[in-house]
Amino acid sequence: MAIENFEEKVNILEKESKEAIQEASDLARLENIRIKYLGRKGVLNELVKELPDIREGSRARFGHSINFAKDNLERLIDEKSQELKNEFIAEKLEKEKIDITMPGKIFALGHLHPLTKVERRIEDIFQSMGFEIVFGSEIESEYYNFDALNIPKNHPARDLQDTFWLRRGLLLRTHTSPMQARYMEKNNPPLRIIVPGRVFRHEATDASHEIQFHQVEGLMVGEDVSLANLKAVFEEFFKKFFSTRGKKIEVRFRPGYFPFVEPGMEIDIKIASSKWLEVVGAGMVHRKVFKSAGYAPGKQQGFAFGLGLERLAMLYYGINDIRLFYSSDFRFLKQF
Ligand code: PHE
């Protein structure tokens, strides 16, 4: 065969492969092209097999043009490969670009309800004074809510208006005091407990009354627990509780009546220049309550108190309507 025909073949292959390289849209396709033309069994090497058909004088020229074509293709493939790689990187960079001037995402984290926060604060302070935290049940019996606490059958607190009655002598506890009776039945003095929990009263609601609210009951009993201990505990408690508010606070003890204490009292506080506010009912545990609990007469003395959680939270945060606590209003809740 004439050398010109071979050269023609090589030219055609070169042209054809150049076009293919140009069009290759990714590295995998480019590699296939390389194998097809430059591979060990590729088109160009196949052509070399035809070398013996060529006149001896032209062989060198033929070899030269094949090598030239190979070098050329290799260079084109390398260039294209570099080009594709650059494109790939550029695209990737574009996709993964971070605009550091964009505003950050705000992750909405929940937080505790203001009443829970205040409850925990109260618990911490009483725990630091050696009180243990116990819990009672929201459904109580008439016996523990009233009888065991020396609240006689005809006492106004038993009036249908105040109590949510359930069936079979059960009711929604109207205060946390039933736990005094329950705890003393099962435990011997000396003892120091607080009982945080929800209570219920069948009353009209207004800015300072809700049908459900929270109390923290307290009870300290021992052979020589006195009124002086009650005073000391509350002076310490209020000092610590309002310490983060940095306001001057005064505490006042006033006589008050509760059937399960004798003497009974109310504890008022006054913050800075505002009015006196009643926040705690308290007193020395009545002997009849000790008797119901099965304690030997005359041996033990103790004080009990019932603290209004919402009242205290309202004072602490400066909230003027108790109903806000149960309103589920985010504008209110977000502030705590
Ligand atoms: N249980 C009373 C109330 O609900 C408060 C109280 C508790 C008073 C303990 C004295 C002693 O109002």
Is 297 found in the same domain as 204? yes
Instruction: Give residue-wise pLDDT tens across range 129-158.
Output: 999 999 999 999 999 999 999 998 888 767
Mean pLDDT in residue range 316-333:
93
* Domain boundary, last residue among 30, 64, 95: 95
Among 155, 177, 230, 266, the mutation site with the greatest number of ligand 1 atoms within 8 A of its Cβ is 177
State if residue 303 touches ligand 1 by the CB under 6 angstroms criterion: no
State if residue 304 touches ligand 1 by the CB under 6 angstroms criterion: yes
In a domain, 26, yes or no: yes
Is 243 found in the same domain as 143? yes
Q: Considering the entire predicted model, what is its pTM? A: 0.70
Is 194 found in the same domain as 148? yes
Is 136 found in the same domain as 48? no
Atom of ligand 1 nearest to the CA of 303: 11
Residue of the nearest CA to atom 2 in ligand 1? 306
| pLDDT computed for residue 248 by the predictor | 84
In a domain, 222, yes or no: yes
* Domain boundary, last residue among 64, 95, 126: 95
CA of 259 to the centre of ligand 1 (A): 9
CA of 308 to the centre of ligand 1 (A): 9
| pLDDT computed for residue 244 by the predictor | 84
Is 130 found in the same domain as 88? no
User: Is pLDDT of 89 > 70?
Assistant: yes
CA of 336 to the centre of ligand 1 (A): 29
Is 148 found in the same domain as 68? no
In a domain, 50, yes or no: yes
Among 158, 171, 258, the mutation site with the greatest number of ligand 1 atoms within 8 A of its Cβ is 258
Is 144 found in the same domain as 13? no
d(CA 97, CA 82): 22
Is 243 found in the same domain as 319? yes
* Domain boundary, last residue among 34, 62, 95: 95
* E-only strand ranges, the chain: 132-133, 139-141, 170-172, 191-200, 212-222, 249-255, 261-271, 277-285, 301-308
Atom of ligand 1 nearest to the CA of 176: 1
CA of 134 to the centre of ligand 1 (A): 17
| pLDDT computed for residue 1 by the predictor | 63
Work out how many domains the chain is built from and give that number. Answer: 2
User: Is pLDDT of 274 > 80?
Assistant: yes
Residue of the nearest CA to atom 5 in ligand 1? 306
Instruction: Give residue-wise pLDDT tens across range 21-45.
Output: 999 999 999 999 999 999 988 888 8
Atom of ligand 1 nearest to the CA of 219: 9
In a domain, 109, yes or no: no
Lowest mean pLDDT among 65-69, 106-110, 160-164: 160-164
| pLDDT computed for residue 8 by the predictor | 85
Is 254 found in the same domain as 144? yes
| pLDDT computed for residue 31 by the predictor | 93
Instruction: Give residue-wise pLDDT tens across range 243-265.
Output: 888 778 899 999 999 999 999 99
State if residue 218 touches ligand 1 by the CB under 6 angstroms criterion: no
| CATH code of residue 247 | 3.30.930.10
In a domain, 198, yes or no: yes
Instruction: Give residue-wise pLDDT tens across range 175-214.
Output: 999 999 999 999 999 999 999 999 999 989 998 889 999 9
- Model confidence band, residue 120 (pLDDT cutoffs 50, 70, 90): very high
State if residue 283 touches ligand 1 by the CB under 6 angstroms criterion: yes
Euclidean distance between the first and the last CA atom of the chain, given in angstroms as a whole number = 96
Instruction: Give residue-wise pLDDT tens across range 188-197.
Output: 999 999 999 9
- Give, in order, the Cα–Cα distances in Å from 83 to each of 22, 24, 27, 68, 69: 11, 11, 10, 23, 21
Residue of the nearest CA to atom 10 in ligand 1? 282
Q: How many helices (H) and strands (E) does the chain have?
A: 11, 9
Is 238 found in the same domain as 159? yes
Q: List beta partners, residue 269.
A: 251, 277
In a domain, 107, yes or no: no
In a domain, 72, yes or no: yes
In a domain, 61, yes or no: yes
What's the domain range around 170?
A: 114-333
Instruction: Please say whether the beta carbons of 284 and 301 come within 8 A.
Output: yes
Residue of the nearest CA to atom 8 in ligand 1? 281
State if residue 281 touches ligand 1 by the CB under 6 angstroms criterion: yes
d(CA 290, CA 181): 8
Mean pLDDT in residue range 61-79:
89
Share of the chain above pLDDT 70, in %: 99
Is 165 found in the same domain as 19? no
| pLDDT computed for residue 9 by the predictor | 84
Share of the chain above pLDDT 90, in %: 70
Is 133 found in the same domain as 17? no
